[in-house]
Amino acid sequence: MASLFSRAKRTNNSAETNPADNSRTLRPYPAANEHPAPATGAETRTYEGRPLDRPGEDIEDQGLAFDVATLLGRRKFLGALGLGAGAVALAACSPGSSGASASASSSSASATGVADTTYTEMPTETAGPYPGDGSNGPDVLDMTGVERSDIRSSIGGGATAEGVQITLELNIIDIAGGNVPFTGAAVYVWHCDAEGNYSMYGEGIEDETYLRGVQIAGDDGVVRFTSIMPGCYSGRWPHIHFEVFPDKASISDATNNVLTSQLAIPEDVATQVYALTGYTGSASNLAKITLGTDNVFSDGWDQQVASVTGDASSGYTVSIDVPIDTTTEQEMSGGMPGGGAGGPGGGGTPPDGEPGAGGPMGAPPGQDSGSAGGSTEAA
Protein backbone atom coordinates (compact mmCIF):
# COMPACT_ATOMS: atom_id res chain seq x y z
CA MET A 1 0.00 0.00 0.00
CA ALA A 2 2.93 2.31 0.73
CA SER A 3 4.24 2.02 -2.80
CA LEU A 4 0.75 2.63 -4.21
CA PHE A 5 0.24 5.80 -2.21
CA SER A 6 3.76 6.86 -3.08
CA ARG A 7 3.02 6.37 -6.74
CA ALA A 8 -0.27 8.20 -6.51
CA LYS A 9 1.35 11.05 -4.69
CA ARG A 10 4.11 11.20 -7.24
CA THR A 11 1.89 11.12 -10.28
CA ASN A 12 -0.74 13.52 -9.03
CA ASN A 13 1.78 16.29 -9.45
CA SER A 14 2.17 18.07 -12.69
CA ALA A 15 4.60 16.55 -15.22
CA GLU A 16 7.80 15.37 -13.54
CA THR A 17 11.26 14.74 -14.91
CA ASN A 18 13.07 11.44 -14.38
CA PRO A 19 16.23 12.32 -12.42
CA ALA A 20 18.18 9.66 -14.28
CA ASP A 21 17.23 10.95 -17.70
CA ASN A 22 16.48 14.65 -18.03
CA SER A 23 15.33 14.15 -21.60
CA ARG A 24 12.39 11.88 -20.64
CA THR A 25 9.18 13.47 -19.38
CA LEU A 26 6.54 11.49 -17.36
CA ARG A 27 2.83 12.27 -17.88
CA PRO A 28 0.72 12.56 -14.71
CA TYR A 29 -1.95 9.86 -13.96
CA PRO A 30 -5.57 11.03 -13.91
CA ALA A 31 -6.85 12.09 -10.53
CA ALA A 32 -8.27 9.12 -8.63
CA ASN A 33 -10.98 11.01 -6.74
CA GLU A 34 -14.40 9.26 -7.16
CA HIS A 35 -16.29 12.48 -6.46
CA PRO A 36 -14.15 15.18 -8.06
CA ALA A 37 -14.83 18.77 -7.14
CA PRO A 38 -16.04 20.99 -9.97
CA ALA A 39 -13.41 23.01 -11.75
CA THR A 40 -12.60 26.32 -10.17
CA GLY A 41 -14.80 29.03 -11.52
CA ALA A 42 -17.26 26.56 -13.21
CA GLU A 43 -20.97 26.64 -12.38
CA THR A 44 -22.00 23.87 -9.94
CA ARG A 45 -24.74 21.60 -11.42
CA THR A 46 -27.42 20.47 -8.98
CA TYR A 47 -30.49 18.18 -8.99
CA GLU A 48 -33.28 18.65 -6.45
CA GLY A 49 -30.99 20.94 -4.49
CA ARG A 50 -28.04 18.50 -4.37
CA PRO A 51 -24.78 18.94 -6.29
CA LEU A 52 -24.23 16.29 -8.94
CA ASP A 53 -21.57 13.70 -8.16
CA ARG A 54 -20.61 13.70 -11.82
CA PRO A 55 -21.35 17.18 -13.13
CA GLY A 56 -20.10 16.35 -16.58
CA GLU A 57 -22.60 13.53 -17.08
CA ASP A 58 -26.40 13.17 -17.40
CA ILE A 59 -28.69 12.72 -14.39
CA GLU A 60 -29.23 9.01 -15.05
CA ASP A 61 -25.45 8.43 -15.06
CA GLN A 62 -24.71 9.83 -11.59
CA GLY A 63 -24.18 6.41 -10.02
CA LEU A 64 -25.93 4.16 -7.50
CA ALA A 65 -25.29 6.31 -4.45
CA PHE A 66 -26.88 9.34 -6.09
CA ASP A 67 -29.94 7.30 -7.25
CA VAL A 68 -30.49 5.85 -3.77
CA ALA A 69 -30.32 9.28 -2.19
CA THR A 70 -32.83 10.58 -4.73
CA LEU A 71 -35.26 7.73 -4.06
CA LEU A 72 -35.02 8.07 -0.28
CA GLY A 73 -35.64 11.78 -0.57
CA ARG A 74 -38.78 11.21 -2.62
CA ARG A 75 -39.97 8.48 -0.24
CA LYS A 76 -39.73 10.88 2.68
CA PHE A 77 -41.58 13.59 0.76
CA LEU A 78 -44.35 11.27 -0.42
CA GLY A 79 -44.69 9.80 3.04
CA ALA A 80 -45.36 13.25 4.39
CA LEU A 81 -48.16 13.58 1.86
CA GLY A 82 -49.58 10.21 2.87
CA LEU A 83 -49.25 8.75 -0.62
CA GLY A 84 -47.66 5.49 0.53
CA ALA A 85 -45.53 2.86 -1.14
CA GLY A 86 -47.52 2.79 -4.37
CA ALA A 87 -46.60 6.39 -5.08
CA VAL A 88 -42.97 5.65 -4.26
CA ALA A 89 -43.01 2.95 -6.89
CA LEU A 90 -44.30 5.47 -9.41
CA ALA A 91 -41.60 7.91 -8.40
CA ALA A 92 -38.96 5.23 -8.91
CA CYS A 93 -40.19 4.80 -12.46
CA SER A 94 -40.10 8.48 -13.33
CA PRO A 95 -37.85 9.78 -16.14
CA GLY A 96 -34.22 9.45 -15.14
CA SER A 97 -34.83 6.24 -13.15
CA SER A 98 -33.70 2.86 -14.38
CA GLY A 99 -37.06 1.46 -13.17
CA ALA A 100 -38.91 3.29 -15.93
CA SER A 101 -37.53 1.16 -18.74
CA ALA A 102 -38.09 -2.04 -16.74
CA SER A 103 -41.74 -1.12 -16.19
CA ALA A 104 -42.23 -0.38 -19.87
CA SER A 105 -40.78 -3.76 -20.79
CA SER A 106 -43.10 -5.50 -18.33
CA SER A 107 -46.18 -3.75 -19.73
CA SER A 108 -45.18 -4.63 -23.27
CA ALA A 109 -44.73 -8.29 -22.35
CA SER A 110 -48.13 -8.35 -20.63
CA ALA A 111 -49.88 -6.92 -23.67
CA THR A 112 -48.17 -9.45 -25.92
CA GLY A 113 -49.30 -12.26 -23.64
CA VAL A 114 -52.96 -11.28 -24.07
CA ALA A 115 -52.65 -11.05 -27.83
CA ASP A 116 -50.91 -14.41 -27.97
CA THR A 117 -53.61 -16.26 -25.99
CA THR A 118 -54.89 -19.28 -27.90
CA TYR A 119 -58.60 -20.03 -27.66
CA THR A 120 -60.63 -23.04 -28.72
CA GLU A 121 -64.10 -22.31 -30.01
CA MET A 122 -66.92 -23.12 -27.61
CA PRO A 123 -68.60 -26.39 -28.66
CA THR A 124 -71.99 -26.13 -30.34
CA GLU A 125 -74.80 -27.86 -28.45
CA THR A 126 -78.48 -28.46 -29.00
CA ALA A 127 -80.93 -25.69 -28.16
CA GLY A 128 -83.20 -28.38 -26.75
CA PRO A 129 -86.98 -28.48 -27.10
CA TYR A 130 -87.65 -25.27 -25.13
CA PRO A 131 -85.64 -22.51 -26.84
CA GLY A 132 -88.39 -19.91 -27.16
CA ASP A 133 -86.51 -18.35 -30.07
CA GLY A 134 -89.16 -19.00 -32.71
CA SER A 135 -87.45 -22.11 -34.04
CA ASN A 136 -90.29 -24.36 -32.87
CA GLY A 137 -93.13 -21.96 -32.13
CA PRO A 138 -92.92 -19.63 -29.12
CA ASP A 139 -90.72 -16.62 -29.80
CA VAL A 140 -89.59 -14.34 -26.98
CA LEU A 141 -87.03 -12.65 -29.24
CA ASP A 142 -89.87 -10.91 -31.05
CA MET A 143 -91.11 -9.26 -27.87
CA THR A 144 -90.49 -5.67 -26.82
CA GLY A 145 -88.49 -5.68 -23.61
CA VAL A 146 -86.54 -8.89 -24.24
CA GLU A 147 -83.31 -6.90 -24.00
CA ARG A 148 -82.89 -6.79 -20.22
CA SER A 149 -80.35 -7.73 -17.59
CA ASP A 150 -82.67 -8.97 -14.82
CA ILE A 151 -84.51 -11.99 -16.23
CA ARG A 152 -86.13 -13.29 -13.05
CA SER A 153 -89.57 -11.89 -13.90
CA SER A 154 -91.70 -12.23 -17.00
CA ILE A 155 -91.40 -9.44 -19.54
CA GLY A 156 -93.89 -6.67 -18.86
CA GLY A 157 -94.97 -8.14 -15.54
CA GLY A 158 -96.26 -11.50 -14.45
CA ALA A 159 -94.67 -14.33 -12.49
CA THR A 160 -91.22 -14.10 -10.92
CA ALA A 161 -88.96 -17.13 -10.61
CA GLU A 162 -87.84 -17.78 -7.04
CA GLY A 163 -84.44 -19.23 -6.18
CA VAL A 164 -80.85 -18.50 -5.22
CA GLN A 165 -79.72 -15.36 -7.04
CA ILE A 166 -76.88 -15.51 -9.54
CA THR A 167 -75.03 -12.96 -11.64
CA LEU A 168 -74.35 -14.64 -14.96
CA GLU A 169 -71.35 -13.30 -16.88
CA LEU A 170 -70.46 -14.47 -20.38
CA ASN A 171 -67.24 -13.16 -21.91
CA ILE A 172 -67.76 -13.29 -25.68
CA ILE A 173 -64.45 -13.54 -27.58
CA ASP A 174 -64.08 -13.00 -31.32
CA ILE A 175 -61.44 -15.50 -32.47
CA ALA A 176 -61.65 -14.47 -36.13
CA GLY A 177 -61.03 -10.85 -35.19
CA GLY A 178 -57.81 -11.73 -33.36
CA ASN A 179 -59.07 -12.93 -29.96
CA VAL A 180 -60.68 -9.58 -29.19
CA PRO A 181 -63.91 -8.77 -27.33
CA PHE A 182 -66.95 -9.50 -29.50
CA THR A 183 -68.32 -5.98 -29.09
CA GLY A 184 -71.96 -5.60 -30.12
CA ALA A 185 -72.77 -9.31 -30.05
CA ALA A 186 -76.30 -10.10 -28.84
CA VAL A 187 -76.57 -12.98 -26.35
CA TYR A 188 -79.85 -14.73 -25.64
CA VAL A 189 -79.97 -16.74 -22.39
CA TRP A 190 -82.63 -19.13 -21.09
CA HIS A 191 -82.89 -21.89 -18.51
CA CYS A 192 -85.34 -23.73 -16.29
CA ASP A 193 -86.59 -22.56 -12.91
CA ALA A 194 -85.88 -24.09 -9.50
CA GLU A 195 -88.52 -26.76 -10.14
CA GLY A 196 -87.12 -27.71 -13.54
CA ASN A 197 -89.78 -26.02 -15.69
CA TYR A 198 -89.26 -23.75 -18.68
CA SER A 199 -91.45 -20.67 -19.15
CA MET A 200 -93.43 -20.51 -22.42
CA TYR A 201 -93.65 -24.35 -22.46
CA GLY A 202 -94.51 -25.72 -19.01
CA GLU A 203 -98.10 -26.43 -18.07
CA GLY A 204 -99.66 -23.32 -16.60
CA ILE A 205 -96.69 -21.09 -17.48
CA GLU A 206 -97.11 -20.95 -21.25
CA ASP A 207 -97.74 -17.20 -21.04
CA GLU A 208 -94.77 -16.50 -18.78
CA THR A 209 -91.39 -15.39 -20.08
CA TYR A 210 -89.23 -15.45 -16.97
CA LEU A 211 -85.61 -16.68 -17.12
CA ARG A 212 -85.25 -15.50 -20.72
CA GLY A 213 -83.52 -12.35 -21.95
CA VAL A 214 -81.00 -10.70 -24.25
CA GLN A 215 -77.99 -8.53 -23.52
CA ILE A 216 -75.63 -6.72 -25.93
CA ALA A 217 -71.88 -7.09 -25.35
CA GLY A 218 -70.07 -3.85 -24.56
CA ASP A 219 -66.53 -2.89 -25.45
CA ASP A 220 -65.22 -5.55 -23.08
CA GLY A 221 -67.26 -8.28 -24.79
CA VAL A 222 -69.06 -9.18 -21.54
CA VAL A 223 -72.80 -9.59 -20.98
CA ARG A 224 -74.33 -9.86 -17.51
CA PHE A 225 -77.67 -11.19 -16.35
CA THR A 226 -79.32 -11.35 -12.95
CA SER A 227 -81.10 -14.68 -12.61
CA ILE A 228 -81.47 -17.68 -10.31
CA MET A 229 -79.62 -20.96 -10.06
CA PRO A 230 -81.46 -23.46 -12.28
CA GLY A 231 -82.83 -26.68 -10.79
CA CYS A 232 -81.83 -30.19 -11.82
CA TYR A 233 -84.52 -32.21 -13.55
CA SER A 234 -84.38 -35.91 -14.34
CA GLY A 235 -82.03 -36.90 -17.15
CA ARG A 236 -79.97 -33.69 -17.42
CA TRP A 237 -77.04 -32.13 -15.61
CA PRO A 238 -77.92 -28.59 -14.34
CA HIS A 239 -77.21 -26.19 -17.18
CA ILE A 240 -77.94 -22.85 -18.85
CA HIS A 241 -78.65 -22.40 -22.57
CA PHE A 242 -77.42 -19.50 -24.67
CA GLU A 243 -77.32 -18.33 -28.26
CA VAL A 244 -74.93 -15.69 -29.63
CA PHE A 245 -75.88 -13.43 -32.53
CA PRO A 246 -73.48 -11.11 -34.39
CA ASP A 247 -75.56 -8.04 -33.48
CA LYS A 248 -78.88 -6.94 -32.01
CA ALA A 249 -80.67 -6.79 -35.36
CA SER A 250 -79.89 -10.47 -36.00
CA ILE A 251 -82.03 -11.80 -33.14
CA SER A 252 -85.16 -11.49 -35.27
CA ASP A 253 -84.29 -14.86 -36.83
CA ALA A 254 -82.90 -17.75 -34.75
CA THR A 255 -80.96 -19.09 -37.72
CA ASN A 256 -78.77 -15.97 -37.64
CA ASN A 257 -76.99 -17.12 -34.49
CA VAL A 258 -73.26 -17.81 -34.72
CA LEU A 259 -73.22 -20.13 -31.71
CA THR A 260 -75.74 -22.19 -29.76
CA SER A 261 -74.36 -23.84 -26.67
CA GLN A 262 -74.81 -24.66 -22.98
CA LEU A 263 -72.80 -24.13 -19.82
CA ALA A 264 -72.70 -26.56 -16.92
CA ILE A 265 -73.02 -25.73 -13.22
CA PRO A 266 -70.17 -27.15 -11.07
CA GLU A 267 -71.22 -30.09 -8.92
CA ASP A 268 -70.09 -28.62 -5.60
CA VAL A 269 -72.12 -25.46 -6.15
CA ALA A 270 -75.19 -27.39 -7.29
CA THR A 271 -74.96 -29.61 -4.21
CA GLN A 272 -74.94 -26.58 -1.89
CA VAL A 273 -77.91 -24.96 -3.62
CA TYR A 274 -80.02 -28.09 -3.89
CA ALA A 275 -79.85 -28.60 -0.13
CA LEU A 276 -82.07 -25.53 0.24
CA THR A 277 -85.85 -25.34 0.22
CA GLY A 278 -87.31 -24.41 -3.13
CA TYR A 279 -85.14 -26.92 -4.99
CA THR A 280 -87.07 -29.99 -3.89
CA GLY A 281 -86.03 -33.08 -5.84
CA SER A 282 -83.01 -31.49 -7.51
CA ALA A 283 -80.55 -33.12 -5.11
CA SER A 284 -81.87 -36.62 -5.84
CA ASN A 285 -81.87 -35.97 -9.59
CA LEU A 286 -78.29 -34.71 -9.43
CA ALA A 287 -77.26 -37.87 -7.58
CA LYS A 288 -78.45 -39.98 -10.53
CA ILE A 289 -76.38 -38.29 -13.21
CA THR A 290 -72.82 -37.21 -13.94
CA LEU A 291 -71.28 -35.01 -16.57
CA GLY A 292 -70.01 -38.21 -18.11
CA THR A 293 -73.51 -39.67 -18.49
CA ASP A 294 -75.27 -36.45 -19.46
CA ASN A 295 -76.40 -36.66 -23.09
CA VAL A 296 -74.98 -33.21 -23.93
CA PHE A 297 -71.78 -32.87 -21.91
CA SER A 298 -70.65 -36.51 -22.02
CA ASP A 299 -68.37 -35.94 -25.03
CA GLY A 300 -66.32 -33.34 -23.15
CA TRP A 301 -67.16 -30.59 -20.69
CA ASP A 302 -63.93 -28.91 -19.55
CA GLN A 303 -64.60 -25.78 -21.60
CA GLN A 304 -68.27 -25.59 -20.58
CA VAL A 305 -68.13 -25.84 -16.80
CA ALA A 306 -68.54 -22.30 -15.46
CA SER A 307 -66.38 -20.66 -12.81
CA VAL A 308 -68.47 -19.82 -9.76
CA THR A 309 -67.78 -17.61 -6.75
CA GLY A 310 -69.96 -16.58 -3.84
CA ASP A 311 -72.36 -18.50 -1.63
CA ALA A 312 -76.02 -19.40 -1.37
CA SER A 313 -76.88 -16.66 1.12
CA SER A 314 -75.34 -13.70 -0.71
CA GLY A 315 -75.64 -15.11 -4.21
CA TYR A 316 -73.23 -16.51 -6.79
CA THR A 317 -71.36 -15.10 -9.76
CA VAL A 318 -71.31 -17.60 -12.63
CA SER A 319 -68.69 -16.76 -15.28
CA ILE A 320 -67.45 -18.36 -18.48
CA ASP A 321 -65.42 -17.49 -21.58
CA VAL A 322 -67.24 -18.01 -24.87
CA PRO A 323 -64.74 -17.99 -27.76
CA ILE A 324 -66.41 -17.91 -31.19
CA ASP A 325 -64.90 -18.34 -34.66
CA THR A 326 -67.34 -16.75 -37.09
CA THR A 327 -65.40 -18.12 -40.07
CA THR A 328 -66.39 -21.72 -39.28
CA GLU A 329 -69.74 -23.49 -39.52
CA GLN A 330 -71.38 -24.65 -36.32
CA GLU A 331 -70.91 -28.36 -35.81
CA MET A 332 -72.93 -30.23 -33.21
CA SER A 333 -70.64 -32.05 -30.79
CA GLY A 334 -70.98 -35.78 -30.28
CA GLY A 335 -74.19 -36.39 -32.23
CA MET A 336 -76.47 -34.69 -29.75
CA PRO A 337 -80.22 -34.80 -30.28
CA GLY A 338 -81.91 -32.06 -32.26
CA GLY A 339 -83.49 -29.00 -30.79
CA GLY A 340 -86.46 -28.28 -33.00
CA ALA A 341 -86.92 -27.03 -36.52
CA GLY A 342 -84.64 -24.13 -37.27
CA GLY A 343 -82.50 -24.75 -34.22
CA PRO A 344 -79.13 -26.47 -34.19
CA GLY A 345 -79.62 -30.08 -35.14
CA GLY A 346 -83.10 -29.36 -36.47
CA GLY A 347 -85.97 -31.79 -36.47
CA GLY A 348 -88.61 -32.33 -33.86
CA THR A 349 -90.94 -30.36 -31.63
CA PRO A 350 -91.40 -30.39 -27.89
CA PRO A 351 -92.44 -33.86 -26.68
CA ASP A 352 -96.19 -34.40 -26.43
CA GLY A 353 -97.54 -33.21 -23.14
CA GLU A 354 -94.16 -31.91 -21.95
CA PRO A 355 -93.20 -30.27 -19.84
CA GLY A 356 -96.23 -30.85 -17.70
CA ALA A 357 -96.70 -30.12 -14.07
CA GLY A 358 -93.18 -31.32 -13.41
CA GLY A 359 -89.81 -30.76 -15.02
CA PRO A 360 -88.88 -31.52 -18.60
CA MET A 361 -87.94 -35.06 -19.66
CA GLY A 362 -91.15 -36.45 -18.21
CA ALA A 363 -90.54 -36.18 -14.49
CA PRO A 364 -90.51 -33.28 -12.04
CA PRO A 365 -87.49 -32.98 -9.74
CA GLY A 366 -87.75 -35.67 -7.10
CA GLN A 367 -89.86 -38.02 -9.22
CA ASP A 368 -88.05 -41.02 -10.68
CA SER A 369 -87.98 -40.84 -14.46
CA GLY A 370 -89.01 -44.46 -14.59
CA SER A 371 -92.41 -43.60 -13.10
CA ALA A 372 -93.34 -41.07 -15.75
CA GLY A 373 -93.10 -41.20 -19.49
CA GLY A 374 -91.20 -38.55 -21.36
CA SER A 375 -88.91 -37.65 -24.18
CA THR A 376 -85.25 -38.55 -24.27
CA GLU A 377 -84.55 -35.38 -26.22
CA ALA A 378 -81.91 -33.16 -24.67
CA ALA A 379 -83.37 -30.11 -22.97
Confidence (pLDDT) at 25:
38
**What CATH architecture applies to the domain 140-329+336-352?**
Sandwich (2.60)
Confidence (pLDDT) at 29:
33
The residue ranges of every structural domain in the chain are 37-100, 140-329+336-352
d(CA 345, CA 378): 11
Determine phi and psi for 367, rounding to 5 degrees. Answer: -100, 125
Confidence (pLDDT) at 54:
73
Alpha helices, DSSP H only, in the chain? 2-11, 64-81, 84-92, 98-115, 267-273, 282-287
Q: Is 339 exposed, middle or buried (0-12, 13-18, 19+ CB in 10 A)?
A: buried
| Spacing of C-alpha 37 from chain mean position | 58
Q: Which of 137-173 are b and which e, b meaning 16 or more Cβ less than 10 Å from the residue's Cβ? A: ebbbbeeeebbeeebbbbbeeebebebbebbbbbbbb
Contacts of 334 (CB under 8 A, 6+ apart): 298, 299, 300
pTM, to two decimals: 0.64
Confidence (pLDDT) at 319:
98
Confidence (pLDDT) at 379:
76
Contacts of 109 (CB under 8 A, 6+ apart): none
d(CA 159, CA 194): 13
The parts of the chain modelled with pLDDT lower than 50 are 1-42, 74-115, 334-364, 366-376
Contacts of 289 (CB under 8 A, 6+ apart): 232, 235, 236, 237
Confidence (pLDDT) at 117:
78
Going by the DSSP 8-state scheme, the letter that residue 194 receives in this structure is T
d(CA 342, CA 256): 10
Going by the DSSP 8-state scheme, the letter that residue 59 receives in this structure is G
**SS3 assignment, position 332:** strand
Confidence (pLDDT) at 298:
95
Going by the DSSP 8-state scheme, the letter that residue 331 receives in this structure is -
Q: Is the C-alpha dihedral spanning 60, 61, 62, 65 positive or negative?
A: positive
| Spacing of C-alpha 175 from chain mean position | 15
Q: Is the C-alpha dihedral spanning 199, 158, 264, 268 positive or negative?
A: negative
Confidence (pLDDT) at 365:
52
Q: Is 207 exposed, middle or buried (0-12, 13-18, 19+ CB in 10 A)?
A: exposed
The CB density around residue 244, as the number of other CB atoms within 10 Å, is 23
Confidence (pLDDT) at 61:
67
**SS3 assignment, position 225:** strand
